[in-house]
Amino acid sequence: MHTTTDDTETNWAVSYDAEPIRIRDPVAEALAVLDPGDPFVITYEDVVQAAGHSCPTAAGAFRIAQRGLDALYPDSLPVRSDVAVVAAGTRDDPTYGVTATLLSYITGAGGVEGFGGLAGGYGGRQNLLTFDGFDADTAEPTFRLRRRDTDDRVEVVYHVDDVPDGGPAMGHLRRIVEGTASERERAAFAEAWHGRVQAILDDERLVTVEG
């Protein structure tokens, strides 16, 4: 077996406190990537790297997946290829599109472009992510997650209207992008921005589950 090592490390400018998501993957087990029964461990930092940045949408997607999977699998690990995801909104909606992409990263649920599976479909994830699939009771981002083995399902709502606004420091973003912000402004913005993200990761009220 040939393996490679990479001594480079990501130098994070910020750290987050969030319980990781653990999810089994039958394809990874079949191909000896994971030992049978062992899960992938997906941290919020993994989701940040998949998104390319940390923001309220990325944090919301992480919590939607985490709370939805915990509700569907109260006594066992969730399993990729057994989780179907339905978005209330459309694919081209900025919030739904990004959130669904990150949910796909975590759960494995894919659209028509999804993985077809091994040896006749084993572990396949194709057509497990769909959009505009139901009328939600709220304009806030809403997703349904379903276990294909039991048909149990939950509806998860991300209460974006209740996310803290971050205060006056959020107004420094334009100068940061333009390269004209002072170090004090950059530091104040970073504290406010990442404080909002951590609040989403911490506050159970911001992501609710029904079903």
43-61, pLDDT tens digit by residue?
999 999 999 999 999 999 9
Q: Copy the structure tokens of residue 81.
A: 């290829």
Domain assignment present for 128? yes
Q: Copy the structure tokens of residue 68.
A: 């939805």
Q: Copy the structure tokens of residue 51.
A: 């998104």
Domain assignment present for 154? yes
Domain assignment present for 145? yes
Q: What is the pLDDT of residues 156-210, one digit of tens each?
A: 999 999 999 999 999 999 999 999 999 999 999 999 999 999 999 999 999 999 9
What is the pTM (predicted TM-score) of this model? 0.94
Print the domain residue range for 133.
Answer: 21-158
Domain assignment present for 206? no
Domain assignment present for 93? yes
Domain assignment present for 25? yes
Question: How many domains does the structure of the chain reveal?
Answer: 1
Strand partners, 23: 40
Domain assignment present for 184? no
Alpha-carbon dihedral 170, 171, 177, 180, rounded to 10 degrees: -130
